[in-house]
Amino acid sequence: MGRLRSLLIPGVDKQLLVRDATRVMPDLARRRFIAGGASLGALTLLTGCDVTDSFSAEEMLKQISKFNDGVQAAIFNPNALAPTFPESAITKPFPFNAYYALNDAPTIDGKEWKLEVRGLVDNKRSWTLEELYKLPQVKQVTRHICVEGWSAIGSWTGTPLRDFLKIIGADSRAKYCWFQCADAEGYNSPLDMATALHPQTQMTFKFGDEILPRAYGFPMKIRVPTKLGFKNPKYVISMEVTNDYKGGFWEDQGYNSFSGS
């Protein structure tokens, strides 16, 4: 509180000051990281103090989150399989969850759709759905765990991503597979290579033995049972093998980037 008091300008109503300041700040609704952070940030801005010079809880938390990425990568066992379940354990109905309503989910024409492949791969040609459907598929019944805490068991069928990476001649020493999606705001998410090569990480074409419905990401989602749900992109339109960290829709807003289970 001492620091806060020293930043106050005599004769200025602090409530009005904060209200004015928050009005010019970007999209608070989504980026309110820390309660109270906005007012402290607004005060330092208006008093002309360099925010980076002062203690910033938000910056500290981001650094610790990066540290946690490293810790999780270190304890990630590439041979540890996510537990599998009998079909009788499948959650019905399986929840739809996204930052948009189901009505706003992308509607994709499977005949027009192509998976674009970019980056550190030998063969950059795009793939039609028909071509992808011809690749060998496996089924897995695993638990989907949402960052919100709830979980649901589902059945996903598709091609192990590591098989596809081999087919396209991807550089498996690259750091990430970065996925981009078809929805309006351009969902995207980076997947670390160790997880991309995990035997259960899958290019999913079916849910519960049926062609992947629109709700669950038609025509293709990436199912990653060793990650939280938001690291399982739906409506995928392109994949880039890269050494650059390109960020992600939720990762950029503060969700831990590794988010391993």
Partner 1 sequence: MSSLAVNEQPAAAATSTKVVQPAWVRTVHWINAVAMVLMIMSGWQIYNASPLFDFTFSKSITLGGWLGGALLWHFAAMWLLMVNGLVYLALGLATGRFRKKLLPITPEGVIADTRAALTGKLSHADLTKYNYVQKLLYAGIIAVGILVVLSGLAIWKPVQLQYLTALFGGYDVARYVHFFCMAAIVAFLVVHVALALLVPKSLRAMIIGR
- Least distance to partner 1, CB of residue 254, Å: 4
Q: From residue 13, how far is each of 9, 43, 64 by CA, in Å?
A: 8, 12, 35
Q: Which of 8, 49, 73, 80 binds partner 1 (CB under 8 A)?
A: 80
- Interface residues for partner 1 in 45-64 (CB under 8 A)? 60-62, 64
- Least distance to partner 1, CB of residue 68, Å: 5
- Least distance to partner 1, CB of residue 11, Å: 30
Closest by Cα among 233, 232, 230 to 255: 230
Q: Using the 8-state DSSP alphabet, how is residue 185 labeled?
A: T
Question: Structure tokens of 191?
Answer: 């997947």
Q: Which of 6, 77, 88, 103 binds partner 1 (CB under 8 A)?
A: 77
1 binds partner 1 (CB under 8 A): no
- Interface residues for partner 1 in 14-33 (CB under 8 A)? 32-33
- Least distance to partner 1, CB of residue 71, Å: 9
Place of tokens 């980056």: 119
75 binds partner 1 (CB under 8 A): yes
- The DSSP element (H or E) to which 188 belongs, if any, is strand 188-192
68 binds partner 1 (CB under 8 A): yes
Integer Cα distance of 120 and 137 in angstroms: 24
- 45 and 233 in contact (C-beta within 8 Å)? no
65 binds partner 1 (CB under 8 A): yes
256 binds partner 1 (CB under 8 A): yes
Percentages (nearest 5) of helix, strand, coil residues in the chain:
30, 25, 45
168 binds partner 1 (CB under 8 A): no
- 187 and 249 in contact (C-beta within 8 Å)? yes
215 binds partner 1 (CB under 8 A): no
- Interface residues for partner 1 in 117-156 (CB under 8 A)? 143, 145-151
- Least distance to partner 1, CB of residue 188, Å: 17
Q: Using the 8-state DSSP alphabet, how is residue 70 labeled?
A: H
- The DSSP element (H or E) to which 23 belongs, if any, is helix 14-23
Closest by Cα among 86, 73, 226, 81 to 144: 226
Of 24 and 35, the one with the shorter C-beta distance to partner 1 is 35
Of 233 and 260, the one with the shorter C-beta distance to partner 1 is 260
Of 85 and 133, the one with the shorter C-beta distance to partner 1 is 85
Q: From residue 244, how far is each of 118, 142, 190, 227, 257 by CA, in Å?
A: 13, 30, 10, 20, 14
Of 133 and 255, the one with the shorter C-beta distance to partner 1 is 255
> Which chain residues interact with partner 1 by CB under 8 A?
32-35, 37, 60-62, 64-65, 68, 75-77, 80-83, 143, 145-151, 225-226, 250, 253-256, 260-261
